[in-house]
Amino acid sequence: MNHLAPLAPLALLLATAPLHAQIELKQSDERLRVEIDGKLFTEYRTDRKVPCLYPVIGSSGQGLTRNFPLTKATDGEQKDHPHHVSLWFTHGLVNGVDFWAQHLKRKGRIVHKGFGTNSTGSKNVDGVRTDTASFSVELSWEEGDTVHLKEQRTYTITARGNTRFIDMESILTSPNGDALFGDTKEGTAAIRVAPTLRTKGPVAKGAILNSNGERDGKAWGKRAAWVAYSGPDASGEPVVVAMFDHPSNLRHPTWWHARDYGLLAANPFGQHDFEGKKDAHLGDHTLKHGDSLTFRYRIMLHTGDHESADLPSEWKIYSTTGSGR
């Protein structure tokens, strides 16, 4: 008699059952690699004028941000705006210094000073295993020898089924007197999506939608709780790439620099540019010496369509808890 036979169905079940996503952080001197289930999801990089996350890979295995200028451009990818580096945070006018496009006479850079604490964990929500990982970095906004801002930035990565979340929290302080954030459309929390998600271009098949229901070009310069690109990734799978503005942020709901060529940027300072006002300083904001200014944003990367992404529900969760479910 074969006493092992009854175990065969159980062994088959265990061999074929899907496992929850496992997130690992692999840190080097000035980079940090984030892997999900042993595969690259994103990497924190410091080899540009400002730190960025590149690549950003969806659950389908395709990159959801553009490659240029961090590596060779893919087919249909245009080599414009070399300061658009995948997923980044900066601003175009701080004390008269350009930390965004490097177009002004006074040019700045955000210098990586070191890593803080890293952590990984998981939780069960509605029977779904959700894994998270977070890491923090210390940054300095500099123009030559002058330090205009100090920043503590924390990234939290969440994997849930076919959805990935990147939460970014930035705490800014001004160590050498007050810091003036100038009114300009060139900023601030930004992502440049893959060329297939654009609404205009050689391989563009995408669309833009904001929380007000405004679409494509009508979403530019509008205030909204969130904005999303949707369309096919490079393999043809439907994806949604959205950014949420946390309600605790300055001037929420923020203005959005959402362009047909794939730029999506939340900008709380560019009021006169976005609203066409005459007062060029309408959106200025002064960070007093000794005070701090905190910004929180969520980037949602979903494989599927708008209906399955359910952005209104995801926004509600983020706005009330600030965490992924």
Question: Residue 5: its pLDDT value, please?
Answer: 42
Q: In the numeric block, which tokens belong to residue 78?
A: 């245009």
State the average pLDDT over residues 215-243: 98
**Alpha-carbon distance 242 to 144, whole Å?**
35
Question: Residue 144: its pLDDT value, please?
Answer: 96
> Which domains are present in the chain?
18-321 (2.70.98)
Return all residues near 290 (Cβ < 8 A) that are at least 6 apart. none
The upper half-sphere exposure of residue 172, i.e. CA atoms within 13 Å in the direction of its Cβ, equals: 26
pLDDT digits (tens, 9 = 90+) for 6-60: 434 433 333 333 456 799 999 998 899 999 999 999 999 999 999 999 999 999 9
Going by C-alpha positions, the residue among 231, 186, 234 that lies closest to residue 209 is 231
